[in-house]
Amino acid sequence: MATARWRLDLAYDGAAFSGFALQPEHPSVVGVLRETLARTLRLAEAPYLTGAGRTDAGVHAWAQVVSLDLDEAVLDDEGAAGLVRSLNAQLAGRVAVRSARRVPEDFDARHSALWRSYRYLISTGPNVGPVSHVAWALNGPLDLAAMNAATGAVLGEHDFRAFCKRPADRGPDEALVRRVLEARWSALEDPAGLAGPGGLVMLSVRASSFCHHLVRRLVGAVVAVGQGRLGVEVIGARLASGSGEGLPGPAPASGLCLMGVGYEPRHGGASGTWTV
């Protein structure tokens, strides 16, 4: 039977899952979505899903993308809207399917991606209130000018092994080269006072791809710069040396959110933006 390729755009609360990728013993985004798709479409077996990126446990997403193949008799263009409604009713806020569309056969959520963008959110107030679920609470001021000066070192193509968790199949001397397209810190307005007595600070970063823990380890180091515990030259120095020795640990997962994935227009265009 002929198959068609489909693209689903997703949002989810990472606190509810042990990560994006399938984990038989633990709740995952892929696991719950596969089960719900199989039940809704009455499939004999759950479909294989390819994601644009594998977010860790606790990391959120506003614009994740998955691709999958379905028999043409199972779903057509007219049924896509109904599928989205049905999936969202069953997923009940754990995962939100933002859209479902048929795409060309050469589309692959991971390999067709042109860029990915993330947001990291920090509250400079205490760890209470509505934003504590999605932001790292530091309860103290940060020097944004110093943080932006330090972060500027990551722009362009670099060996990021000092900031990445090394894959099991890579040796300690192998480079982990990535290309960062844009990165900046900014203060956010909080007219509703959701951050309490503190303020909100955000890193927006976009790259062709990311290695494991890159954003969280970068945030951990740059926050130390913003607190005056490290100098602004530390990021560039660690990139040049390839060593992360002496750097703080990664920032908490709860502050990180996948905000967008870029694709060609024929593949449906970007799932989100590189900033909010």
Q: Write down the domain spans for the chain.
A: 3-112, 115-258
Query: How confident is the model over 64-114, as pLDDT tens digits?
Result: 999 999 999 999 889 999 999 999 999 998 999 999 999 999 999 999 999
pTM of the model: 0.93
Cα–Cα separations (whole angstroms), residue 205 to 63, 80, 103, 155, 230:
14, 32, 27, 10, 21
Task: Please tell me if the domain spanning 3-112 has the same topology as the one spanning 115-258.
Answer: yes
Catalytic residues: 56
List beta partners, residue 56.
19
Alpha-carbon gap, residue 218 to 198, rounded angstroms: 22
Alpha-carbon gap, residue 107 to 248, rounded angstroms: 39
Pairing of strands 3-12, 177-188: unpaired
| Tokens linked to 129 | 């209130």
Confidence check: pLDDT of 173 > 50: yes
Classify domain 115-258 by CATH number.
3.30.70.660
Query: How confident is the model over 202-254, as pLDDT tens digits?
Result: 999 999 999 989 999 999 999 999 999 999 999 999 999 999 888 999 999 99
pLDDT grade, residue 275 (50/70/90)? low
Pairing of strands 60-71, 256-262: parallel
Classify domain 3-112 by CATH number.
3.30.70.580
Q: How far apart are the first and last CA of the chain?
A: 42
